[in-house]
């Protein structure tokens, strides 16, 4: 009898962690806590599944490589198509077959092999000085940034930042390498200063009169409007959506992927489906001023006030295919030097 009791206790001890794991899902996230934790709390409330999160600013792909098949990661959250495609290139994710994801996320914004899915979109816009430039019309294009009229008037962060690399990649996909290199040379010659800082720093530079136009992601405008120390920067600019009469404005994404060795795959897929649903999509829109990827979820009132725009329909897969070429061109023209 004593032996049987001992075996029974061992069995319970062995099964206990598995039972606990069944009620958990582990997330590796580049997205900040203030943005994703409210959604995770709502997911837990609805499903009873606890969400454990490891936040990081960089190095998640390297961490996944190091952990290998023993990695506890289930879902990976990140920004920009380049970071998502990097996960697939390093074989760190696996396909997800989900009717819900297929229905809620437009084909343009998901991997053709179902290895990553967009959650939100944001435009690579051009900010212009209200006082010195005014609103740029629908005829304005990214190509115009290389024209002589903008000599000494452009600010931007590093050309090799993923946000700019994705824009250059899209231009290569649509115009070819030779034309894109010529454009990069023109933009470089029009810079008011060496590329530096982040997107908000470029808007600040416009406010301070250092430049008149700048590349920047759309959601930063919402962040600045709601920051008492930065509102004056936002009030000094218009947000513009280039290429409205041609290809449409370049759009990038935040997204998610299922880790290759996910130990809680069923829970992970449930979380991914939740994040692509109406409730989470609405929360994304209100908290971070991004555009929901789900078509029937409206952007926040502030974001809607910026006006409607035509998005470039190019597949993000096509953009990702040209990232190496984009970095090569940026090096060739010494864009950041």
| pLDDT reported for residue 50 | 97
CB atoms inside a 10 Å sphere around CB 86? 17
Mapped onto helix, strand or coil, the DSSP state of residue 291 is: strand
Residues with pLDDT less than 70, the chain? 1-22
| pLDDT reported for residue 20 | 41
Q: Would you say 75 and 30 are in contact if contact means Cβ atoms under 8 Å apart? A: no
| pLDDT reported for residue 144 | 98
**Which residue numbers belong to the known binding site?**
219-220
Give residue-wise pLDDT tens across range 176-217. Answer: 999 999 999 999 999 999 999 999 999 999 999 999 999 999
**Which residue numbers belong to the known binding site for Fe cation?**
219-220
| pLDDT reported for residue 22 | 59
Give residue-wise pLDDT tens across range 224-256. Answer: 999 999 999 999 999 999 999 999 999 999 999
| pLDDT reported for residue 4 | 38
| pLDDT reported for residue 317 | 87
| pLDDT reported for residue 80 | 86
Q: Would you say 129 and 136 are in contact if contact means Cβ atoms under 8 Å apart? A: no
Give residue-wise pLDDT tens across range 92-111. Answer: 999 999 999 999 999 999 99
Q: Hey, what domains does the chain have and what are their CATH numbers?
A: 24-121+251-298 (3.40.190.10), 124-249+311-333 (3.40.190.10)
Q: Would you say 266 and 285 are in contact if contact means Cβ atoms under 8 Å apart? A: no
């Amino acid at each position: 009898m004593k032996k049987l009791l001992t075996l029974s206790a061992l069995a319970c001890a062995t099964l206990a962690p598995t039972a606990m794991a069944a009620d958990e899902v582990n997330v590796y996230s580049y997205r900040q806590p203030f943005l994703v934790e409210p959604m995770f709390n709502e997911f837990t409330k609805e499903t009873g599944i606890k969400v454990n999160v490891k936040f990081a600013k960089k190095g998640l792909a390297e961490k996944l490589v190091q952990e290998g098949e023993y990695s506890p990661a289930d879902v990976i959250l990140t920004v920009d198509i380049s970071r998502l495609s990097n996960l697939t290139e390093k074989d760190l994710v696996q396909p997800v077959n989900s009717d819900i994801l297929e229905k809620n996320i437009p084909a343009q914004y998901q991997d053709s092999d179902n290895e990553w899915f967009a959650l939100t979109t944001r435009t690579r816009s051009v900010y212009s000085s209200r006082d010195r430039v005014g609103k740029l019309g629908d005829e304005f294009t990214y190509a115009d940034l290389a024209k002589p009229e903008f000599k000494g008037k452009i600010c931007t962060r590093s050309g090799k930042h993923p946000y700019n690399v994705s824009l250059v990649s899209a231009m290569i996909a649509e115009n070819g390498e030779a034309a894109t290199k010529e454009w990069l040379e023109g933009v470089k010659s029009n810079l008011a200063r060496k590329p530096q800082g982040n997107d908000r720093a470029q808007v600040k530079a416009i406010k301070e009169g250092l430049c008149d136009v700048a590349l920047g992601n759309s959601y930063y405008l919402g962040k600045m409007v709601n920051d008492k120390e930065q509102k004056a920067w936002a009030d000094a600019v218009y947000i513009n959506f280039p290429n409205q009469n041609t290809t449409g404005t370049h759009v990038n994404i935040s997204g998610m992927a299922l880790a290759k060795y996910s130990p809680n795959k069923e829970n992970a897929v449930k979380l991914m489906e939740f994040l692509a649903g109406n409730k989470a999509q609405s929360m994304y829109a209100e908290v971070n001023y991004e555009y929901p990827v789900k078509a029937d979820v409206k952007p926040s009132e502030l974001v809607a006030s910026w006006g409607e725009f035509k998005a470039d329909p190019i597949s993000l897969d096509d953009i990702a295919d040209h990232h190496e070429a984009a970095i090569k061109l940026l090096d060739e023209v010494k864009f950041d030097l």
